[in-house]
Structure 1
C-alpha cells in the first residue's frame, strides 16, 4: 500500500465525475459455480480499463461490504465513456455479462450483482484525506493541498458560510 500523505489534502478533480458502484452478493457460498466466475470476471475488465485509458476510467477502489458483498467504486470521465465501454462488443464486459446471465439462469438466485451510476456535476463534490495514502477520488485524479480549494467542506463545495450575526 502507498505511504500516507501527511496533512490534509483534497482531490484534484475539477470537472464532472461519474461514480459507478458495482458489486456482487453471494447468496449461497456453497454454489461456487455460480459466484466464483462472476467474481473473477471483474479483474480482466479492470486490467483492460487501466491499460486503455481512452476508455475513460479515471480510477477505482475495490472494497468489502457486508459479509456477503464485494464491490468496486469506479470513477469515470463521463457517462458516455462508461456506457460505450459497457456496450462495446470488442471489450471484456460484453462477454462477461453474457456469461453471467447464462449462469444466472442456471444458478437460481445463488449470486446477485448490482450497480449504481451517479453523474456528479463539477462543484458538487468535495473530499478531504488526512494522513491517508491516495484513496478514492483522490487516487483517481490526484490530490492537492486543502487550502487550494478551501479549508472547510462548505468552501470546497462553493458554499458561503452563513453568519450568525444580525
Structure 2
C-alpha cells in the first residue's frame, strides 16, 4: 500500500498566518556515532509529544533528507507563541534534549551539526500548488483543496 497520489491541481487548505520552522542536523563525522545518534533520536520523541497534544500549535511536519549527511524537518505551526512556549517549557521533551545536546556538543569536536530557521508568514504571503502529488508540505499539514478554490494562478493565490 503506497501513498495516494492526488490527481489534478491542488493547493494547501491553510488560512491565516503560518509559522514555518525548519530544524535539522548534519552528520559531520559518520564514525562519531556517540555525537549524532542522540540528536537523531531526540526529534522523534519531540514530534510524538507534540502530535499527541492538539493544543501544542504544531499543525504538521514534513521530514526531508538533503544528501547523505543532512536530515531535516519542516514544521508548520499555528503561532510563534506556541512554538516558543514549547521550546522553553521545562516539563516538555525539548528543554532536556537541548541541554543534553549543548553538553555533548562542547565536548564532541563537531561530529554533528545542528540548525533551525523560523519564518512567520502572514496570511496572503504564501501560496502553494501540487500537481499529481500526495499531500506534501503545507498541504500535508492542512489538507488540500482544488486550486480553483484558491485562485488559478500564483498571483491570484497570493492576492
Quick check: TM above 0.5?
Answer: yes
Deviation at 1:5, TM superposition (A): 1.0
Number of equivalences:
158
Deviation at 1:66, TM superposition (A): 2.9
Q: Aligned partners of 1:114, 1:75: CA distance in 2, in Å?
A: 16
Deviations 1:85-125 (A, max 9, x none): 00001111011101111110110111110000000000100
Q: Aligned partners of 2:67, 2:114: CA distance in 1, in Å?
A: 14
Taking the TM superposition and a 5 Å limit, the aligned residue runs for 1:4-153 are 4-153=5-154
Deviation at 1:131, TM superposition (A): 1.1
**Runs of 4+ residues deviating >3 angstroms:** none
Q: Aligned partners of 2:51, 2:134: CA distance in 1, in Å?
A: 19
- With normalisation by structure 2, the TM-score equals 0.97
Q: Aligned partners of 2:156, 2:51: CA distance in 1, in Å?
A: 32
Alignment partner, residue 163 of structure 1:
none
Structure 1 unpaired stretches of 5+: 159-166
Deviation at 1:7, TM superposition (A): 0.5
Q: Aligned partners of 2:51, 2:101: CA distance in 1, in Å?
A: 22
Deviation at 1:67, TM superposition (A): 2.5
- With normalisation by structure 1, the TM-score equals 0.93
SS in structure 2 of the partner of residue 49 of structure 1: helix
Q: Aligned partners of 1:97, 1:53: CA distance in 2, in Å?
A: 23
